[in-house]
Amino acid sequence: MHASVGFIGLGRMGLPMAHNLLEAGYYLSVFNRTAARADGLCAQGATRAATPQVVAEQHDIVLSIVADDTALRAIAFGDSGVLAGLRPGQIHVDMSTVSPDVSKELDRQYRTKGAHFVAAPVFGRPEAAAAAKLWICPAGPPEAIERCRPVFESLGQGVIVVGTEPHLASCLKLVGNFFVVAAIETLSEALTLAEKSGLKSETVLALIKALLPVPLFQGYGTRMAHNEFSPPGFALRLGIKDVDLMRRLADQAESPLPLADVAHHNLLAAHARGRGELDWGALITVVRELAGLEPGDSSSPESD
C-alpha cells in the first residue's frame, strides 16, 4: 500500500508528475494557485487542497515544483503556507530550480519545527516528466531521502543523491542547466554559421548525430533547426531566471561564466522581442538576426 503524498505546483512539469503518482497508486492531494489546473487530477481521484498548509497537515511527504524563489517562499512561508502545517518528522521535498540561498532558508526554518527539507531538482523536459523518465537529484537528511525514494522511483528513471546539505542540490541543478544553456548558445551559433556558409540544417544535424549522440544536442538541435519553439518545454522567460541564478552563484564562487553572460544577453534580447513564452531554444532567433537572417527562416541551399 503506497503512502499518501501532497503535491504543490501543477505547471508543465508538475501536472504530469502528479499524474504519475496517481498512476503509481499514491493517495494524492494537490494545490495549485490556479485551482482549475487540478480538475483533471481530481477527476482521477486526487483531492484538491485549499492551501499549502492543508497539504502539509494531511501528508507526511509534501512535494513541490514551482517557478522561482518568490513562488517557493510564498508556498512555504506565506499565509497558510507549508511551514504553518508542518509537524516534527514531516518532509517537504522541493523539486524546483531555485537559488541555493532559498534552499538554505527553508532548511533552516523547517529544522526549528523538527521537520525535514529535501531539495530534489529534476532534469528532463515535460515529455520526460510524463514518461516518468526524469533524473532526480536530492540532497538533505539521508533518512528523509530514503523515505522518499519510492516516490522518486515513481517519477524518474534514476536518482543521484547529492549530499546532506539541501543547497548543494540547488547548486548542481544550476550547473546542469548551465550545460543546457551553453549547448543552446553553441547550437545557435553553429547552426547560424552553417546556414550562412551555404549548408543545409539537415547536414549539420547529421553531423551532430554522428559526433554528439546525446539527447541534449540532438533534441535541441532538431527543434532549433526546425524552429519548433511552441509549446515550450521550458519557457524562455524562465531561462532568463535560471541564467540569472547561475551568474549569481558564479559571482559568489568567484568563478567566471562568460558563456552564460553571452546567453543571458541573447535571451534578454529574445524576450524583448516578445518571445518569452517560447521555448528557450528560441535564443537562436536573436543569433540569426545578429547575422542578418530572418529569425525563423531556416531554409538554405547546400553549396556544391
- Looking up residue 175, the CATH number of its domain turns out to be 1.10.1040.10
Domain that includes residue 76, residue range? 4-164
> Are 18 and 158 in a shared domain?
yes
> Are 14 and 77 in a shared domain?
yes
Q: Read off the C-alpha cell for 242.
A: 535560471
> Are 44 and 146 in a shared domain?
yes
Which of 164, 196, 221 marks a domain boundary?
164
> Are 92 and 193 in a shared domain?
no
For helices 69-77 and 100-111, give the axis angle rounded to 10 degrees: 10
pLDDT at 246: 98
- Looking up residue 8, the CATH number of its domain turns out to be 3.40.50.720
> Are 101 and 184 in a shared domain?
no
Query: Would you give the distance in Å from CA 256 to the centre of its chain?
Result: 23
pTM for the predicted model, two decimal places: 0.94
> Are 92 and 227 in a shared domain?
no
Express each pLDDT in 197-256 by its tens digit.
999 999 999 999 999 999 999 999 999 999 999 999 999 999 999 999 999 999 999 999
Query: Would you give the distance in Å from CA 98 to the centre of its chain?
Result: 9
Q: Is the pLDDT of residue 302 over 90?
A: no
Q: Is the pLDDT of residue 21 over 70?
A: yes
Residue 196 annotated to the active site: no
Q: Is residue 296 part of a domain?
A: no
Count how many Cα atoms sit within 13 Å of the Cα of residue 6 in the half-sphere of its side chain.
28
Which of 129, 164, 199 marks a domain boundary?
164
> Are 73 and 115 in a shared domain?
yes
Instruction: Catalytic residue, from 104, 113, 173, 196: name it.
Output: 173
Structural domains in the chain (count): 2
Q: Is residue 299 part of a domain?
A: no
> Are 38 and 154 in a shared domain?
yes
Question: Helix, strand, coil shares of the chain as percentages rounded to 5?
Answer: 55, 10, 35
pLDDT band at 303 (very low <50, low <70, confident <90, very high): very low
